[in-house]
Amino acid sequence: MFLTPRLVILLPTVLFLLRAGAKIPRVAHPGSKQAKYLASKRPTTTAAQVSGSFTGTGWSASAPEVSAPYANIWQELTNDEAADVIAFLHNKTNLNLTAAADAGRLILHIYHLSDNTDAHTDAFSSFSWDNSIMRVEIVTPNKTDVLPFVDNSQRQPERWARAAIWVGATTEPYVIEYQIGPLPISSDSTLTSLDWLTTKGTTYQRNYDADEDLTSEFMYNVSASVQDIVTDLLNGTASGSDDDDLDIWGIDPLWHPTPDTTVQWVTYWRIPSSIFDGETLMPQGLYFEVNTTGRDPLGWSVIGWLYRDVYYNSTESFRAAWEAGELEKSALNLEGPWIGTDYRGPTTSVGANSTMWGSEKAPPVMVPPSGEDGIRYKVDVENKYVEWMDFSFYIAFRRDSGMRLFDIRYRGERIVYELGLDEALAHYAGNDPVQSGTAYLDTYYGFGPYAFELLAGYDCPTYSTFLNSTFHAEEVSTTHPNSICLFENDQGYLIQRHSDDAYVASTKNIAFTVRSASTVGNYDYNFDYTFYLDGTIEIVVRASGYIQSAHYYGNNDYGYHIHSGLSGSMHDHVLTFKADIDILGTSNSFANHTVAPVTTTYPWSHGMERSTMKLFRSYIDNEDNSKLLWPENAHSMFMIVNKDALNEFGEPRGYRIMPSKGGGMHATIQNSSNLINSMNFATHALYVTKQKDTEPRASNANNDYDPANPVVDFAAFFDGESLDQEDLVVWFNLGMHHVPHTGDLPNTVFTTAQGSMQILPHNYLLHDPSRDSLQTVRIDYNDSGVQAVHTFGASFSTGLVNLTSTVPEFWDYRGDIDVRKFPYDPQHPYNDTESIV
């Protein structure tokens, strides 16, 4: 099996145009069958589509217009603002920036390979390392600057941008962030530190995987050196060529056994040949460990191999075991119809032997009464401001966390200053090092870049109002048309009902929803913010898409056997939300009212004890005690109240917070070997802190580069501050403990993979506010029949419905629209939709 060493020169010169920056989210290989197929399906884009409106797959109801009471000061940078900021940065010669379109490396690789030695680089030349702009976005204005403006008509807060800069022109590459402003750019604009937004005192963050494409190439050459073994065990190739049918990738984040050492475990995955990106369903069960410390591939090496739970401490020992016939082959996970999401036809699975009866018929559809004239909400599209019934709010959008809501008001009073996702953790476990070493922090990849257009009639009713979202990364502004939808709908159950022998009374449960969806890698997250007639706000997150699975061998303690060689790798989803709640001002307290069993006597009990229960009232008045779990049996009520604002019965007015689906959530693993100091937001279900402008987020997108030394460590927020009549922020977690089963193939379904939280009035008003809805009916009756019908002046639907208008225009669907920002080229947009594989 030993071959003479051979010199392989990979082209005279190989030019790699890399996106300078971060650990780059993995996308389909440019030359792969899947990438070529997707490229052939990309739509063309015109400048008119960028400047004009988008109709997308639905008719996008033109909601009645309303003028926002003030400009949306949380709105993302406009395309022109982003272009000006990027040009300003390029004029700062001390940053030594290269345009992202030009940033790259010219590299000559010469590899010395043999079948019994590790692949290594004999010659390596790098002609340029670059500094470049990773992303620019708005600096969310400080709350202490905003409230005087929105509440007292004082000066509007200055608008500032922030920029993440990739510094690659060094042997120790890093990411650093700055703030730029005020905007618009002028002679008064400056470039200053953004360190005040961190807990460690600096935005500087080392990137230990700066040369990801080089490490990937190194790994493929490692694989090529044992291709005969790979072919035998896995029936595939992984050499880095376009014709490979195996992919190689592994842990996230990387490991650092010592501060100066970087280690990666990787494994093989089968690449689908069809459009379906079900690669994460096809792990092959062979792993290898590499040391990729530093930027010089001459110093990289293979540490060992793992197969069928046996560790080999070198490539030589792995090869020797194979040559000796010691390697029993494991079941392979191969491509087939089982990874596709299409209709499969009649099934022979247990309990079903035919197509679902009637499924070919059109299902019920939702339609608004009187077409667009029936829309009962108002929108200021330019300012993304919405009014529905007693609610009003502003919508903002961020590259890291997607959609956020600001200044949510109910009956004219602000109840929530800010509401939105802060971080999403997916922490895996398994018998193999890749599953054990995987703990994704999804804001690193970002929810904004993958918030693609929503499909009308499926993601949202066809009568929804659609809004666009835009983010600015790598000197490109990307617009996702129709990526946010607004709609009103009947919840399918009443909000109120009562009947007796004289009458029946009912009130329709009509709610208003703001929705977006992001496909971050294999998972699709659906986010809803739903408003109800009783003053409740519900936050719902649902997950679908492909699971990241494990090979089943030796993994029975970590998941079910769900396909030939497949284990449904267990993992926790923990999504952390920020809710800055203001009840009749910013002076609030956090109350805990607990229902507890007691034994007591009463004046009327004749001295005999009775077993009963009482309500115990207390306050959590210090951050030292404000890391909370949801009580067993749901016997406690948590609420934000204003002690200084009592209702006429002497009760503090407030809003309660409680799980509505899923029972709340926190991570099972408390001291993660992978994330170290970067998951302190996930150790409990609920947290309360004093609001600080310097603590706007529970995490930072750059934490993933160096989890032991995060830019923002949530644990640092808890420093013993008083919570008594202070401006409070509640941080809560949604998600699920996910142990995938056969029902997760091919995709996990929204019906079971969901969690939600409600923020609801508690002694806030003097009655149920849904009584103020005209969608109420009372029918009086007796033995003689109906005596009276009371509709209270409400209108009912009339006329005919054009059901054809509810059918989506599927051929109008688009991915995204991109505009180069440096040099600024708004007249030549293009489509460059990518997905993490």
CB crowding 292-308: b at 16 or more within 10 Å, else e: bbbbebeebbbbbbbbe
DSSP state of 800: -
Q: What does the radius of gyration of the chain's CA atoms come to, in whole angstroms?
A: 29
How crowded is residue 742: how many other Cβ atoms within 10 Å of its Cβ? 12
- Catalytic positions are 442, 523
Give yes or no for a cis peptide into 823 (omega within 30° of 0).
yes
Q: Count the residues in the chain.
A: 837
Q: Which two structure tokens, joined as six digits, stand for 704?
A: 């993933």
Q: How far apart are CA 284 and CA 271, in angstroms?
A: 11
* Residue 137 near residue 76, CB atoms below 8 Å: yes
Q: Which two structure tokens, joined as six digits, stand for 212?
A: 């990801």
- Sorted by sequence, the CB contacts under 8 Å of residue 560 that are 6+ apart come out as 567, 568, 739, 740, 741, 742
Q: How far apart are CA 692 and CA 96, in angstroms?
A: 34
Candidates 241, 235, 82; CA nearest to 163 is 82
Q: How far apart are CA 121 and CA 123, in angstroms?
A: 6
Q: How far is CA 757 from the centre of its chain?
A: 17
- CA dihedral (352, 353, 358, 364) positive or negative: positive
Q: Which two structure tokens, joined as six digits, stand for 755?
A: 């969690």
Q: What torsion do the CA atoms of 45, 48, 53, 54 make, to the nearest 10 degrees? A: -20
Q: How far apart are CA 517 and CA 402, in angstroms?
A: 9
Q: Which two structure tokens, joined as six digits, stand for 676?
A: 């170290």
Give yes or no for a cis peptide into 141 (omega within 30° of 0).
no
How crowded is residue 248: how many other Cβ atoms within 10 Å of its Cβ? 20
* Residue 480 near residue 452, CB atoms below 8 Å: yes
Q: How far apart are CA 487 and CA 495, in angstroms?
A: 18
How crowded is residue 799: how many other Cβ atoms within 10 Å of its Cβ? 9
DSSP per-residue codes, 137-189: EEPPPPHHHHHHHHHH--PPPPEEEEEEEEE-SSSS-EEEEEEEEEESP-TT-
Q: Which two structure tokens, joined as six digits, stand for 770?
A: 């849904």
